Amino acid sequence: MNTSIATISFADVWHVMGPEVILTIGGFLMLVFDLFVSRGTSRKVTPWIGIGVLAVAMGFIIRNFGVVSTEGPGQISNALYVMDDFGNIFKMIFAGGTMLTLLMSVDFFKHNPAVKVAEYSYLLIFGTLGAFVMASSYDLITLFVGLELLSITSYVLVALRRNHAKSTEGSMKYLVVGGIASALTLYGMSFLYGITGQTNIGMGAQMITQMWTEMKPLIMLGFLLLLAGLSVKVSLVPFHMWAPDTYEGAANPITSFLSVVSKAAGFAMIIRTVLFGFGREFGEIYYYLVALAALTMVVGNIAALAQKNIKRLFAYSSVAQAGYLLVPFAVLGKGSSGENIWLAMGEITFYLIGYLFMTMGAFAILTAVTRKAGNESIEAFRGLYQRSPFQAVAMAIFLLSMAGMPITAGFFGKFYIFLGTINTEMYWLGGLLFLTSAIAFYYYFGVLRTMFMKESKEPLTEAKLEMPFSLNVIVWVGLVGTIGLGVFPDIILDTLNGLKWFG
Amino acid sequence: MLQNKLLTLIVFLPLLGALILAFVPRGSHSQARAVAMIATFLPLIFTGFVYASFDGNNTGMQFTESHEWIHIAHVFGDKSLTIGYSLGIDGLSIPFLLLTAIVSFLGVIASKSVQHRVKEYYIWYLLLVVGLFGCFVSLDLFLFFLFLELTLVPMYFLIGIWGGERKGAVATKFLVYRGIASVGILVAFVGLAFAAANVTGDITMNITMITEAFAKASSDIITDDWKMWIFVVLLIAILIEEAFFPFHTWLPDTHEQAPPAISMIVGGVLMKIGAYVLYRVGVGVLPDAVQHFATWIAILGVINIVYMAMVALVQKDWRRLLAFSAISHMGVVLLGVAAMNQAGLQGGIFMTISSGLLSGLLFFLIGAIKERTGTSMIAGLGGLSKPMPILSGFLLAGALASLGLPGMSGFVSEILAFMGAYAAFPVIAAVGTLGVILAAVYLLWAMQRTTYGPTSAQLEGLPDARAIEYVPMVVFIALIILIGVYPSILGDLVNSTISSYVTRIGG
């Protein structure tokens, strides 16, 4: 094979990896900044630098929309990295999610003087960088590097509350399970490399098509190992066991980071590797994804029924949401025409954006509520409507959106995913999606009941929530996003449908 | 033009009321009540306008208002998805609209006994009313579903906060049953829209366009299999929604635990949404499927009529008795629909409306009696006609109407529905009439134990109806008798629409 390796200039890198370069520079800038200023200044300023860096990165991502790098997957080449709207939209989700995470952290830092703010902030930025790489890389090696960058920063972030037993337990589990997952992913990749002799996804796909008949068992093995490893990242059943403990142990902003950014990044990588890495053979292997999606929706929702701790409840709920999110991609295997791919990408990203808004909003309120109560049981929400009506109503809207009630993003997202299952004639999976959502009513309404039906045990004036400005901002962003996407979904969907997903 | 904004006004005035209530101070109960009363009275007035200028001979939609709401250019390849804010009524929906307006206003009057978290109560109540109005005037299935879901959340809280001793569990039961029913309805709706897209080109959720598309489509464009599957899903959803056997257990619990005014709304309006969907979508869009399953629907109807009447016989609590009685009556609707002829279909609507009025009246009366005596157990009452002659008198009137006394609405409904059913399924219909006999037995027996006999000491000296309570009682009874002696008042509204359905079945 005649592949000439061209010298890469910084201009080329800047052209394709602009947002990544900004995050890298920004992250190091924060690291250095911390060394040169007083501790107090660093605590105050570093998170805001992080938010600024993300905002600049978002600006560059927006600039990149519609621009597709010539080294794209459409052209078979030795591209390691691509720029397309699929990557761009996911990066927007990551950057937005991390921004809200940092905003939520500002409040967290105030109440936890032991936490090292600068470390925490630049680790989040580097984690986001890892997510960026996962969304845009077109090569197994760089994909894995992105995955590890995100994973390792996450392990540290989960463990940051060092004097907290639950946090240690959660991070230990996360580290061990995550390490095994990375090993599985890498092992799977090594099989694929062994068969195809390629780390490039597109060229690998060609080889897989050629070798499918003779090498099928080995290719399947590689695929399943890869899928298992990535399933851990997005918490698909049966690879979800770490989620409740880790969610419970991590600080609230980090939990929301895991359940939004880290999960979205996992999805981006699954889509990138499976859709492009297996090419035409996707149609032969998709039923594993279908099975995972079905299992995840059922088990996630049923396990959530018994939860007493609000963060564990959200962990299982986020497991279930991962199941919904996998549905549009899984059914693609049945008919992955270009149009269907666009439709599925629109479904996934719409749901992810909605999920970002409702999760972040819910976590902002959860933070205030659990701090007030001093514990994380659902009972902490007792009588919230009487104590702080606005926050109770906002939380109710986020929960109803997660449950899939109309005029919220969650409802339209599910509705839209359901349309996709009909399009690919996978009716039972669509039916299951709605049916499991109906089961989910039970636990979401359990929280609603605690907020609205039970009366506060303490005098109302003392039990009122303290909502700092930053948390209120997140709640408002969440509300506008959740209701806006629910009432006018066409605005964003038309944009999504107009994207050049993969060039 | 006010004409085409009227329905929007009717639907959203209660919402406006709820918003105003949010700013009413927590303690001022009478203000909250006044707001709720105005916010349900104005829609009643506007509904009166609609009724007065409604053209009964027109089978099309009237008072229509339509705006494009959500339009997604590419949903399936080049097909677009359009969801509209479309409102309108025809002969089928106007009786339901009137029923909703009347029962929701009278429900506020009956809510007098609520003394706890009053402001919140009326906010949820008004939101519930928005959902109910919305269901009957929506011409877009998506919009309909939205309003249907809007009834779910307020109901959950209304039962859960202001209900009886088992309120929490029953509220959840209500939520789960109706949540699953909603899923079925949504799945069926999407199936309809998807099938209709084969004719219309683009995907629309507009019921008028879907109906036309189905009427036009030959069987190779929309296959019979597809229609059957949609209908089966829809029918199961309706069975849950209407608490038909074997999905009925949530309704008696709900009626037993819900506050009286909410019981009125549930029995009077909420339980009629399923019947409305059966007519609008089942008979209107999928008549072949209804015809195909007609025998099964008829058998199901008769099982409900007879079995529920038998269960009602052994009930100890009036509220449970009335719940089972209502299901038994709604079984007649299934029978009438299965007949698929003019008399049967019309009887079904008569029965739905009649049952709505009767449920409203009877649950109001039982609520009023329970408020005074502290119990709705039949055994705990007895000799009630002495301390409360007025309430007992109206209860008797309601019971008689319920068992089908000529001159009252129940009689007309049963006659029509059974006439239709005899024409189609003589044997099944004959078995069904057993329910009429049983109804007489359980109702009269319960009446006898409640109102006659010696009055127990603790019931003596209890006050009879207050002046304000005459309003719901008299209005309900007047309407029940009016429909009984002059059925055309309802018949003229629905006749043309039903005829157009029957023509389509024949043709």
**Closest C-alpha to B341, from B177, B125, B499:** B499
Report the interhelical angle of A310-332 vs A338-373 (nearest 10°). 180
- Among the partner-chain residues B145, B180, B190, the one whose CB lies closest to the CB of A419 is B190
Spell out which residues of chain B touch residue A428, defining contact as CB-CB under 8 Å: none
Report the interhelical angle of A282-304 vs A310-332 (nearest 10°). 160
* Torsion angle of C-alpha atoms A122, A124, A130, A132, degrees rounded to 10: -100
Cβ <8 Å between B190 and A452: no
Q: Does residue A184 lie in a domain region? A: no
Spell out which residues of chain A touch residue B73, defining contact as CB-CB under 8 Å: 494, 497
SS3 A452: helix
If you average pLDDT over residues B456-462, what whole number do you get?
Answer: 77
**Closest C-alpha to B422, from B436, B411, B413, B433:** B433
| Shortest CA gap A363–chain B (Å) | 22
**Closest C-alpha to B369, from B217, B263, B282:** B263
Count of beta carbons in the 10 Å neighbourhood of residue A487: 16
Per residue in A434-452, pLDDT tens?
989 988 988 999 899 888 8
Spell out which residues of chain B touch residue A493, defining contact as CB-CB under 8 Å: 72
Match 């005098």 to its residue by tokens.
Answer: A459
- Report residue A172 as tokens: 């230990």
The per-residue pLDDT for A453 is: 84
If you average pLDDT over residues B299-319, what whole number do you get?
Answer: 91
Instruction: Give the integer Cα–Cα distance in Å for B332 and B251.
Output: 17
Instruction: Give the integer Cα–Cα distance in Å for A452 and B45.
Output: 33
Show Cβ contacts of residue B307 under 8 Å, excluding neighbours closer than 6 positions: B245
Strand order in the sheet with B62-76: B62-76, B79-89, B203-204
- Report residue A268 as tokens: 């981006």
The per-residue pLDDT for A44 is: 87
**Closest C-alpha to B138, from B241, B236, B210:** B210
Contact A120, A30 (CB under 8 A): no
Cβ <8 Å between B76 and A423: yes
Residue bearing the bigger pLDDT, B200 or B229: B229
- Among the partner-chain residues B73, B161, B176, the one whose CB lies closest to the CB of A442 is B176
Show Cβ contacts of residue B169 under 8 Å, excluding neighbours closer than 6 positions: none
| Shortest CA gap B159–chain A (Å) | 10
- AA letter at A313: L
Q: How confident is the model at residue B507 (pLDDT cuts 50, 70, 90)?
A: very low
Phi, psi angles (nearest 5°) of residue B28: -80, 90
Q: Is the dihedral of CA B319, B324, B327, B329 positive or negative?
A: negative
Per residue in A78-102, pLDDT tens?
567 888 888 899 999 999 999 999 9
Cβ <8 Å between A415 and B72: no
Interfacial residues of A (vs B; Cβ cutoff 8 Å): 339, 342-343, 385, 400, 405-407, 415, 418-419, 422-423, 430-431, 434-435, 437-438, 441-442, 445, 448-449, 452-453, 488-490, 493-494, 497
If you average pLDDT over residues B122-130, what whole number do you get?
Answer: 94
A·B CB contacts under 8 A: 78
Q: Which residue of A has its CA nearest to B26?
A: A386
B379 part of contact set with chain A, CB < 8 Å: no
Which of the residue ranges A299-308, B382-391, B418-427, B485-494 would you say has the lowest mean pLDDT? B382-391
- Please provide the distance, in angstroms rounded to a whole number, between the alpha carbons at the two ends of chain A: 25
Cβ <8 Å between A497 and B74: yes
Is the confidence at residue A71, as pLDDT, over 70?
Answer: no
Q: How confident is the model at residue A73 (pLDDT cuts 50, 70, 90)?
A: very low
| Shortest CA gap A357–chain B (Å) | 20
Q: Which residue of B has its CA nearest to A487?
A: B70
Percent of chain B with pLDDT over 70: 99
SS3 B370: helix
Q: Does residue A387 lie in a domain region? A: yes
Per residue in B221-260, pLDDT tens?
888 888 899 999 999 999 999 889 888 888 989 988 889 8
Instruction: Give the integer Cα–Cα distance in Å for B218 and B199.
Output: 10
B77 part of contact set with chain A, CB < 8 Å: yes
Cβ <8 Å between B72 and A490: yes
Q: Which residues in A29-50 are b (16+ Cβ under 10 Å) and which e?
A: bbbebbeeeeeeebbebbbebb
Please tell me the number of Cα atoms within 13 Å of A457 on its side-chain side.
Answer: 6
B19 part of contact set with chain A, CB < 8 Å: no
Q: What's the mean pLDDT when you consider all of chain A? A: 87
Spell out which residues of chain A touch residue B152, defining contact as CB-CB under 8 Å: 405
If you average pLDDT over residues B395-418, what whole number do you get?
Answer: 89
Contact B169, B114 (CB under 8 A): no
Q: Which residue of A has its CA nearest to B74?
A: A497
SS3 B201: coil
Q: Does residue A65 lie in a domain region? A: no
Spell out which residues of chain B touch residue A453, defining contact as CB-CB under 8 Å: 157, 160-161, 168
Phi, psi angles (nearest 5°) of residue B71: -135, 115
- Among the partner-chain residues B81, B145, B168, the one whose CB lies closest to the CB of A406 is B145
Cβ <8 Å between A445 and B186: no
Question: What 3 state SS string does B105-117 have?
Answer: HHHHHHHHHCCCC
SS3 B377: strand
**Residue B441 CB-density burial (10 A; 0-12 exposed, 13-18 middle, 19+ buried):** middle
Instruction: Give the integer Cα–Cα distance in Å for B112 and B185.
Output: 35
Spell out which residues of chain B touch residue A343, defining contact as CB-CB under 8 Å: 74-76
CA A464 to chain centre: 32
The per-residue pLDDT for A1 is: 42
The CA–CA distances, whole Å, from A278 to A210, A273, A483, B149, B233 equal 11, 7, 38, 42, 37
Count of beta carbons in the 10 Å neighbourhood of residue A335: 15
- Among the partner-chain residues A342, A405, A494, the one whose CB lies closest to the CB of B153 is A405
| Shortest CA gap B393–chain A (Å) | 37
What secondary structure does DSSP assign to A181-247, as a single string? HHHHHHHHHHHHHHHHS--BHHHHHHHHHHHHHHHHHHHHHHHHHHHHHHHHHHT-TTS-THHHHHH
Contact A481, A357 (CB under 8 A): yes
The per-residue pLDDT for A77 is: 44
Q: Which residue of A has its CA nearest to B193?
A: A419
- Report residue A314 as tokens: 């959200």
Is the confidence at residue A72, as pLDDT, over 50?
Answer: no
| Shortest CA gap B384–chain A (Å) | 35
Q: Does residue A48 lie in a domain region? A: no
Is the confidence at residue B120, as pLDDT, over 90?
Answer: no
Residue bearing the bigger pLDDT, B505 or B448: B448
- Among the partner-chain residues A342, A435, A453, the one whose CB lies closest to the CB of B157 is A453
Name the strand (E) or helix (H) holding B263: helix B260-268
Chosen for mutation from A349, A490, A499 (greatest number of chain B CBs closer than 10 Å) is A490
Cβ <8 Å between B156 and A435: no
B223 part of contact set with chain A, CB < 8 Å: no
Is the confidence at residue A74, as pLDDT, over 60?
Answer: no
- Which structural domain, as residue segments, surrounds residue A350? 278-503
Report the interhelical angle of B389-402 vs B409-424 (nearest 10°). 10
Spell out which residues of chain A touch residue B183, defining contact as CB-CB under 8 Å: 431, 434-435, 437-438
Chosen for mutation from B183, B192, B228, B236 (greatest number of chain A CBs closer than 10 Å) is B183
Q: How confident is the model at residue B129 (pLDDT cuts 50, 70, 90)?
A: very high
Instruction: Give the integer Cα–Cα distance in Å for A203 and B323.
Output: 68
Q: Which residue of A has its CA nearest to B229?
A: A427
Instruction: Give the integer Cα–Cα distance in Å for A414 and A437.
Output: 9
Q: Which residues in B261-271 are b (16+ Cβ under 10 Å) and which e?
A: bbbbbbbbbbb
Instruction: Give the integer Cα–Cα distance in Å for B505 and B503.
Output: 5
Which pairs from A52-56 meet CB under 8 Å and 24+ separation?
A52/A26, A53/A22, A53/A23, A53/A26, A53/A27, A53/A29, A53/A125, A54/A23, A54/A26, A54/A95, A54/A98, A54/A99, A54/A102, A54/A125, A54/A128, A55/A99, A56/A22, A56/A26
Per residue in A161-189, pLDDT tens?
777 888 888 888 999 999 999 999 999 99
Cβ <8 Å between B172 and A437: no
* Number of domains, chain A: 1
Q: What's the mean pLDDT when you consider all of chain B? A: 88
| Shortest CA gap A221–chain B (Å) | 34
- Report residue A463 as tokens: 């039990």
| Shortest CA gap A103–chain B (Å) | 31
Cβ <8 Å between A488 and B75: no
B73 part of contact set with chain A, CB < 8 Å: yes
Instruction: Give the integer Cα–Cα distance in Å for A207 and A196.
Output: 5
Please tell me the number of Cα atoms within 13 Å of A385 on its side-chain side.
Answer: 19
Instruction: Give the integer Cα–Cα distance in Å for B68 and B84.
Output: 4
- Among the partner-chain residues A445, A489, A490, the one whose CB lies closest to the CB of B175 is A445
Q: At CA B390, angle to CA B388 and CA B395, rounded to 5?
A: 95
| Shortest CA gap B160–chain A (Å) | 7
**Residue B457 CB-density burial (10 A; 0-12 exposed, 13-18 middle, 19+ buried):** exposed
| Shortest CA gap A470–chain B (Å) | 26
CA B418 to chain centre: 20
Spell out which residues of chain A touch residue B120, defining contact as CB-CB under 8 Å: 385
B81 part of contact set with chain A, CB < 8 Å: yes
Count of beta carbons in the 10 Å neighbourhood of residue A284: 15
Is the confidence at residue A116, as pLDDT, over 70?
Answer: yes
Q: Does residue A319 lie in a domain region? A: yes
| Domain ranges within chain B, ordered by starting residue | 293-507
Q: How confident is the model at residue B1 (pLDDT cuts 50, 70, 90)?
A: low
B116 part of contact set with chain A, CB < 8 Å: no
Spell out which residues of chain B touch residue A445, defining contact as CB-CB under 8 Å: 156, 172, 175
Contact B222, B199 (CB under 8 A): yes
Contact A389, A397 (CB under 8 A): no
Residue bearing the bigger pLDDT, A50 or B503: A50
Q: Which residues in B195-208 are b (16+ Cβ under 10 Å) and which e?
A: bbbebbebbbbbbb
Spell out which residues of chain B touch residue A387, defining contact as CB-CB under 8 Å: none
Q: What's chain B's length in residues?
A: 507
Residue bearing the bigger pLDDT, B449 or A312: A312
